[in-house]
Structure 1
Amino acid sequence: MAKLSFLAGFGAGYVLGAKAGRERYEQIRRLYASAKDDPRLQAAAGVAQARADAAVDSVKTRMGTDTGH
């Protein structure tokens, strides 16, 4: 009887946990979908990309490996 109770409890916990995990996944997916189209985020990503490109170019120049892009 204890084994059956354990299996029933485990099954219920698994189902409830899986549902909660799926709901959280869907929440994160919706947040990502709305954020990726936000112009403020796009602007920040553009600035970050430009800074990263400038840093890479600077390092290449200092190391003498500038390929002349």
Structure 2
Amino acid sequence: MKKFLLGAGLGYVLGTKAGRARYDQLVQAYRRVVDHPMVQGAAGVARAKLSERFGRGR
């Protein structure tokens, strides 16, 4: 538990030092990747395969 709290505290401090601008850059990069047509296509294929494997509506 102590290690978790230390890690959370360290992450908070580093995150606040990085600032809002860096956070916005990371979010923008994430959205560019997620919205890319190839990623969307791969996600659709993965969803279809999972539905075939595990059945729909379960």
TM-score, normalised to structure 2, is: 0.56
**CA distances 1:23-67 after superposition (whole Å, capped 9, x unpaired):** 1x222201122112211001000000000100112xx8xxxxxx7
User: Which entry has the higher C-alpha Rg, 1 or 2?
Assistant: 1
Unaligned runs of 5+ in 1: 1-13, 61-66
Structure 1 stretches of at least 4 aligned residues deviating more than 3 Å after TM superposition = none
Task: Give the match for residue 48 of structure 1.
Answer: 46
Q: How many residues align?
A: 43
Name the % identity: 37
Letter in 2 for 1:54: E
Partner residue of 1:19 out of 3, 17, 30: 17
Partner residue of 1:38 out of 36, 40, 46: 36
TM-score, normalised to structure 1, is: 0.49
How many angstroms apart in 1 are the aligned matches of 2:27 and 2:34? 11
Unaligned runs of 5+ in 2: 1-12
